Amino acid sequence: MITSKKIIGVGLILVAVFVLVIASCTKNNTVVIDNTPAITRTVSFAKDIQPILTKSCAVSGCHSGSVAPNLSEATSFNALSSGNFINTASPKSSDVYLWLTGKKAVAMPAGAANNPSNINPLMLAWITQGAKNN
């Protein structure tokens, strides 16, 4: 037989569980979209993007002059910006981002050892922030 005491007891338990769930929620400044965490700080081409391009892309036989775009330090910004590889109006549609994420072909840089985990979110953040030569 269900008594009012049992109903009150179950109600109190449900309220306690609800309070625990709400109390355990925390705010996280990182938002994940398409498995790419958003970067909220300013991304510098010279300090954040170019070192990755130099190490992982502008290597012999790849984007160091033999395959477009040339991502060597002296030419990479101009090659990306003037070669229609960047779309600041729709950053996720940028060719460079599509290549990096593997949505255009095999994900670049080719080979798991060459593909740093931070390159996709950094590139997307840099394009979203206007793809500045900073």
Residue pLDDT, tens place only, 2-54: 666 656 655 555 454 444 444 444 433 343 445 656 788 999 999 999 999 99
Q: What is the per-residue pLDDT across 59-99, written as a single tens digit (0 to 9) for each?
A: 888 899 888 999 999 999 999 999 889 999 999 999 999 99
Q: How far apart are CA 77 and CA 49, in angstroms?
A: 10
Q: What is the per-residue pLDDT across 29-41, written as a single tens digit (0 to 9) for each?
A: 343 445 656 788 9
pLDDT (0 to 100) of residue 24: 46
Q: How far apart are CA 125 and CA 100, in angstroms?
A: 13
**Contact partners, residue 38, CB within 8 Å, separation at least 6:** 30, 31, 32, 121, 125
pLDDT grade, residue 131 (50/70/90)? very high
pTM: 0.70
Tokens of 29: 């400044």
R_g of the chain computed on alpha carbons = 23
pLDDT (0 to 100) of residue 38: 74
DSSP 37: E
Q: How far apart are CA 68 and CA 64, in angstroms?
A: 8
Could you give the angle at the alpha carbon of 100 between the alpha carbons of 98 and 101, nearest 5°?
Answer: 65
CA nearest to 85, candidates 70, 74, 73: 70
